[in-house]
Chain A
Amino acid sequence: MKRVFAVTLGILTAIGGFVDIGDLVANSETGARFGMRLAVVVVIGVIGICVYAEMCGRVAAISGRPVFDLVRERLGPKAALANLTGSYLVTLLTLAAEIGGVALAIQLASSVSYLLWVPVAAFAIWVALWRVKFETLERVFGLVGLALVVFVIALIQLQPDWAALAGDATQLSPPDGEDWGTYGFYAVSLFAAAMTPYEVFFFSSGGVEEGWTAKDLLTSRMNVFVGFPLGGVLSLAIMGCAAVVYQPLGVQVDTLAQTALPVGIALGKIGLVVVILGFFAATFGAALETGLSSGYTVAQYFGWQWGKRVAPRQATRFHTVVIISVLLGVALLLTTIDPIQLTEYSLVFSAVVLPLTYLPILVVANDRAYLDDKVNGPLANTLGIIYLVIIVVVAVAAIPLMILTGVGQ
Chain B
Amino acid sequence: MTDQPDPLRIDFHLLDRQIVDAAGEPVGKVDDVELTLNPATGRLQVTALLSGQQVLGERIGGRLGGLLAGIARRLHPVEHPPPLRIDLTHVASIGSAVTLTVHRDALPTPPLERWLGDQFIGKIPGAGHAGQ
A and B touch in the complex (CB under 8 A): yes
Which A residues are closer than 8 A to B by beta carbons? Answer: 63-65, 69, 72-73, 76-78, 80-81, 130-134, 136, 299-306, 308-313, 316-317, 319-320, 369-370
With A64-B24, A320-B121: A312-B126 Cβ-Cβ less than 8 Å: yes
Instruction: Among B29, B97, B129, point to the contact of A302 (Cβ < 8 A).
Output: B29
Determine if B56 and A77 form an interchain contact, defined as CB atoms under 8 angstroms apart: yes
Q: Smallest CB-CB separation from A62: which chain B residue?
A: B96
Decide if B103 is an interface residue (CB 8 Å cutoff).
no
Determine if B116 and A72 form an interchain contact, defined as CB atoms under 8 angstroms apart: no
Decide if B130 is an interface residue (CB 8 Å cutoff).
yes
When distances are taken between beta carbons in the complex, the residues of chain B under 8 Å from A304 are: 26, 28, 110, 113
Determine if B18 and A316 form an interchain contact, defined as CB atoms under 8 angstroms apart: no
**How far apart are A351's CB and chain B's nearest CB, in angstroms?**
19
Interface size class of B (residues with CB under 8 A): 35 or more
Instruction: Among B64, B68, B120, B129, point to the contact of A316 (Cβ < 8 A).
Output: B120
Decide if B25 is an interface residue (CB 8 Å cutoff).
yes
Instruction: Among A77, A136, A303, point to the contact of B131 (Cβ < 8 A).
Output: A136
Chain A at the B interface: mostly helix, strand, loop or mixed? helix
Determine if B64 and A305 form an interchain contact, defined as CB atoms under 8 angstroms apart: no
A133 to B129, CA, bound (A): 10
With A76-B16, A320-B120, A369-B5: A131-B126 Cβ-Cβ less than 8 Å: yes
Decide if B10 is an interface residue (CB 8 Å cutoff).
no
Determine if B96 and A319 form an interchain contact, defined as CB atoms under 8 angstroms apart: no
Contact with A along B49-88 (1 / 0, CB 8 A): 0010100100110001000100000000000000000000
When distances are taken between beta carbons in the complex, the residues of chain A under 8 Å from B27 are: 303
Instruction: Among B68, B124, B132, point to the contact of A312 (Cβ < 8 A).
Output: B124
When distances are taken between beta carbons in the complex, the residues of chain B under 8 Å from A302 are: 28-29, 53, 56
Pairs across A and B, CB under 8 Å, 23 listed? A64-B24, A69-B18, A72-B29, A76-B15, A76-B16, A77-B16, A77-B59, A77-B60, A78-B60, A78-B64, A80-B16, A81-B60, A131-B126, A133-B130, A304-B28, A310-B25, A311-B128, A313-B117, A316-B117, A317-B110, A320-B120, A369-B5, A369-B96
**How far apart are B109's CB and chain A's nearest CB, in angstroms?**
10
A103 to B117, CA, bound (A): 31
When distances are taken between beta carbons in the complex, the residues of chain A under 8 Å from B26 are: 299, 303-306
Other A-B contacts than A313-B121, A313-B127, A319-B121, 17 sampled, CB-CB below 8 A, are: A63-B95, A63-B97, A73-B18, A77-B59, A77-B60, A78-B64, A133-B132, A302-B53, A302-B56, A303-B29, A304-B26, A305-B26, A305-B104, A306-B26, A310-B25, A317-B110, A370-B96
When distances are taken between beta carbons in the complex, the residues of chain B under 8 Å from A130 are: 124, 126, 131
A138 to B85, CA, bound (A): 38
Determine if A134 and B29 form an interchain contact, defined as CB atoms under 8 angstroms apart: no
A374 to B51, CA, bound (A): 31
Determine if B19 and A303 form an interchain contact, defined as CB atoms under 8 angstroms apart: yes
Instruction: Among B28, B96, B124, B129, point to the contact of A63 (Cβ < 8 A).
Output: B96
